[in-house]
Amino acid sequence: MKLASWNVNSLNVRLPQVLDWLEQAQPDVVGLQETKLPDERFPRDALREAGYESLCSGQKTYNGVAVLARQPLSAPVTDIPGLDDPQRRVLATTIGDLRFVNLYVPNGQAVGSDKYAYKLDWLARLRDWLAAEQARHPRLVVVGDFNVAPEDRDVHDPEAWREQVLCSTPEREALQALMALGLTDSFRRFPQDEAVFSWWDYRMNNFKRNRGLRIDLILTSPTVTGALTASYVDRGPRAWERPSDHAPVVAELADA
């Protein structure tokens, strides 16, 4: 079983690339972020023709998440309980025996800003909810654009990024608090090259120079971690014409 996460930075613009990538990579489940589409404009039919059922939680202009799967998707949840937030950043659903949680974590803009405070609060509330999700659903997978680079080795220039947003100690500690629930960064379960990233700013030829961060993650609960057979970043689509600024990330599971 092949799981993936991809921040597409507008599904309206990126739908042809998503369809190409689905055809090429043949994932079973995909979490999309930054769809930037209200649900009535979600391209459900085109995705169904490609073999995928979908759930979406979108809004105009900003944010928006969706999950695509070859199997039926049930029991959707679109909000962190108790967090009254109009921003569409969460979509959890059950697919087979997996509970799949797709996230677009707030960016945080700059350390010390109001958006940064919102990000840290959001992550703290996420932790409490994921603890409950894990108790209900032992086979839990949490994917998405976390907008946090877990460690310095996930950053092209750690000194330049020291205590900057996406890399600051409070953000990393908030991510660690999620992982302390028993969630594993699937990418680090396997030998990897150095300087593997999942996001490269559009500016300054950052992709060509591989000046990126690894902020798109697939976290797995212990029973799922035990079934992992691979986890990697597919840089291919980032090199396509008119790309998203993020590449898809993938985790593969042995069949049960």
Output the known binding site for Mg(2+): 7, 34, 145, 147, 245-246
Residue 145 annotated in active site: yes
Closest CA to 21 of 237, 195, 180: 237
Judged by CB under 7 A, does residue 209 bind DNA?
A: no
Residue 156 annotated in active site: no
Q: Give the span between the Cα atoms of 218 and 144, in whole angstroms.
A: 7
Q: Give the span between the Cα atoms of 167 and 120, in whole angstroms.
A: 13
Residue numbering of the annotated binding site: 7, 34, 145, 147, 245-246
Q: Give the span between the Cα atoms of 232 and 240, in whole angstroms.
A: 18
Catalytic residue among 104, 116, 154, 216: 104
DSSP string across 161-202:
HTTSTTT-HHHHHHHHHHHTTT-EEGGGGS---SS--SB--S
Number of residues forming the site for DNA (CB under 7 A): 17
Judged by CB under 7 A, does residue 107 bind DNA?
A: yes
Residue 104 annotated in active site: yes
Q: Which of residues 39-68 bind DNA (CB under 7 A)?
A: 60-62
Catalytic residue among 137, 185, 216, 246: 246
Pick 187 or 199: Cβ nearer DNA: 199
Q: Give the span between the Cα atoms of 83 and 93, in whole angstroms.
A: 18
Binding residues vs DNA (CB under 7 A): 9-10, 12-13, 36, 60-62, 106-107, 109, 115, 147, 202-204, 242
Could you give the residue numbers annotated as active site? 104, 145, 246
